[in-house]
């Protein structure tokens, strides 16, 4: 027993040192040139703060998506690979709502606020229903199948939704073109918050008067406030309400929950509804914040949020929030000081390292009685 444990540790260290070696070897090519980074931090220390702000804002969005992964995993031990794409649908839904209601062309603050709230509500509803439908279609029948089966059908759902997104993006009457941000299918998501605040005569940058070369925008604050509100709401919901307690009970022992009169199917559906709704809200937030709508954006968001959920301890709601902010910071610093195209690799490497050294995550929970 002792011996196998030691061997296992040795193997983990071998893998970790291999990863480190590769990182150091390829590092300079991709921009991980430590002296250069140190120089640029020294030359412009404020930039560090700037990346921090961006990281926290993006992290808030990642955290909201990660909640969907972690809640679903907590309750049926399935990684819902289609979740990132549900978020993508959230981005497109809100963009379409803003376009159809004429909010995009409007300069009237009242109309913009109304349009944004409507977009938020509709994105939440659409994503909630979509997520619950995915569960009914692709996962429910496989609940007692080997675990690989629902995983594969989750990946299948992910491809299907991505293709729906691809077609959606091509419909000019649904997604008006304001130009592209990169590839031809990467649409601009108009900066409605910027328009709104300018029309109200506010300076979008809250730090404009300070004279510092820093941007802390109302957008950043809004994203963070909305995210923290949603997270607190969810936390209280799960801790205090009848349905929330039923969810925790189901996650901890499904048979016991059934024998106490908890309708498992409804609890699972509710979990998917809530997770999907959060992804919808995150979709609008991300669209407004990053100003991009792309059919493939769910992949990167999904990868980052899934890593965040694992980093925080999958199944743990507080952990997903913490992990979200940490991954947001990691991605932001990587985008800023390395090269944006390597961020995904870095996030993946983080995922590998967590799984190797601390599979239960930072705030990991014991899986309890389930052997």
Rounded Cα–Cα distance for residues 144 and 208 (Å): 57
Residue closer to other proteins, measured from CB, 236 or 256: 256
Residue closer to other proteins, measured from CB, 65 or 267: 267
Local structure of 46: helix, strand or coil:
helix
Considering the rule CB under 8 A, would residue 146 count as an interface residue with other proteins? no
Residue closer to other proteins, measured from CB, 3 or 369: 369
Residue closer to other proteins, measured from CB, 89 or 246: 246
H/E run at residue 333: helix 317-337
- What would the DSSP string read from start to end of 79-93? --TTHHHHHHHHHHH
Return the range that interacts with other proteins (CB under 8 A); candidates 95-103, 161-169, 182-190, 248-256.
248-256
Rounded Cα–Cα distance for residues 170 and 96 (Å): 12
Considering the rule CB under 8 A, would residue 253 count as an interface residue with other proteins? yes
Paired residues of 293 in beta bridges: 187
Paired residues of 205 in beta bridges: 217
Residue closer to other proteins, measured from CB, 91 or 262: 262
Q: How far is the CB of 257 from other proteins (least distance, A)?
A: 8
Which tokens go with 63? 């955290």
Considering the rule CB under 8 A, would residue 145 count as an interface residue with other proteins? no
Which tokens go with 86? 């549900």
Residue closer to other proteins, measured from CB, 262 or 346: 262
Return the range that interacts with other proteins (CB under 8 A); candidates 43-51, 159-167, 221-229, 362-370.
362-370
The tally of CA atoms less than 13 A away on the side-chain side of residue 7 is 4
Q: How far is the CB of 341 from other proteins (least distance, A)?
A: 41
Rounded Cα–Cα distance for residues 271 and 131 (Å): 9
Q: Which residues, 6 or more positions from 23, have their beta carbon under 8 angstroms from its beta carbon? A: 32, 349
Q: How far is the CB of 80 from other proteins (least distance, A)?
A: 22
Q: How far is the CB of 107 from other proteins (least distance, A)?
A: 52
The interface mask with other proteins, positions 257-296, x = CB under 8 A, is: xxxxxxxx--------------------------------
Rounded Cα–Cα distance for residues 195 and 193 (Å): 5
Rounded Cα–Cα distance for residues 241 and 315 (Å): 18
Q: How far is the CB of 255 from other proteins (least distance, A)?
A: 6
* Backbone φ/ψ region at 160: left (φ over 0), alpha (ψ -120 to 50), beta: alpha
Considering the rule CB under 8 A, would residue 248 count as an interface residue with other proteins? yes
Cα-based distances in Å from 358 to 199, 314, 355: 49, 11, 6
Q: How far is the CB of 264 from other proteins (least distance, A)?
A: 7
Q: Given candidates 246, 279, 285, 310, which one binds other proteins under the rule CB under 8 A?
A: 246
Q: Regarding beta strands 292-293 and 187-188, do their DSSP bridges make them parallel or antiparallel, or are they unpaired?
A: antiparallel
Considering the rule CB under 8 A, would residue 256 count as an interface residue with other proteins? yes
* DSSP for residue 139: I
Residue closer to other proteins, measured from CB, 248 or 300: 248
Considering the rule CB under 8 A, would residue 249 count as an interface residue with other proteins? yes
The interface mask with other proteins, positions 168-207, x = CB under 8 A, is: ----------------------------------------
Which tokens go with 76? 């049926």
Which tokens go with 311? 């980093």
The interface mask with other proteins, positions 309-348, x = CB under 8 A, is: ----------------------------------------
Q: For tokens 């909010």, what's the residue? A: 103
Residue closer to other proteins, measured from CB, 33 or 365: 365
φ/ψ of 112, rounded to 5, equals -65, -45
Return the range that interacts with other proteins (CB under 8 A); candidates 157-165, 196-204, 244-252, 288-296.
244-252
Which residues lie near other proteins (CB under 8 A)?
242, 245-246, 248-249, 252-253, 255-264, 365-366, 368-369
């Amino acid at each position: 027993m002792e011996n196998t444990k030691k061997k296992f540790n040795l193997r983990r260290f071998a893998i970790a040192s291999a990863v480190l070696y590769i990182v150091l070897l390829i590092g300079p090519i991709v921009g991980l040139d430590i002296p250069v980074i140190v120089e640029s931090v020294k030359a412009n220390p404020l930039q560090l703060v700037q990346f921090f702000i961006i990281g926290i804002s993006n992290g808030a969005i990642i955290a909201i998506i990660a909640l969907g992964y972690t809640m679903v995993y907590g309750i049926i031990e399935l990684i819902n690979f289609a979740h990132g794409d549900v978020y993508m649908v959230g981005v497109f839904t809100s963009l379409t709502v803003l376009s159809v209601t004429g909010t995009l062309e409007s300069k009237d603050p009242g109309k913009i606020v109304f349009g944004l709230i409507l977009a938020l509500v509709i994105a939440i509803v659409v994503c909630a229903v979509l997520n619950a439908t995915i569960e009914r279609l692709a996962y429910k029948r496989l609940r007692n199948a080997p675990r690989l089966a629902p995983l594969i059908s989750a990946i299948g759902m992910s491809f299907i939704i991505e293709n729906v997104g691809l077609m959606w993006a091509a419909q000019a009457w649904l997604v008006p073109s304001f130009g592209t941000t990169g590839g031809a299918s990467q649409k601009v998501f108009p900066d409605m918050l910027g328009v709104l605040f300018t029309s109200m005569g506010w300076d979008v940058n809250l730090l404009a008067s300070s004279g510092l070369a820093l941007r802390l925008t109302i957008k950043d604050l809004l994203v963070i406030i909305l995210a923290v509100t949603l997270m607190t709401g969810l936390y209280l919901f799960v801790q205090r309400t009848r349905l929330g307690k039923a969810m925790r009970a189901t996650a901890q022992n499904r048979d016991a929950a059934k024998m106490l009169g908890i309708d498992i199917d409804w609890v699972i559906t509710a979990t998917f509804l809530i997770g999907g709704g959060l992804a919808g809200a995150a979709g609008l937030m991300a669209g407004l914040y990053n100003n991009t709508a792309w059919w493939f954006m769910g992949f990167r968001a999904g990868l980052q949020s899934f890593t965040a959920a694992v980093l925080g301890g999958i199944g743990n709601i507080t952990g997903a929030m913490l992990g979200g902010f940490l991954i947001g910071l990691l991605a932001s610093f990587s985008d800023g000081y390395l090269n944006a195209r390597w961020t995904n690799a870095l996030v993946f490497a983080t995922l590998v390292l967590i799984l190797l050294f601390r599979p239960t995550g930072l705030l990991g929970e014991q899986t309890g009685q389930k052997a």
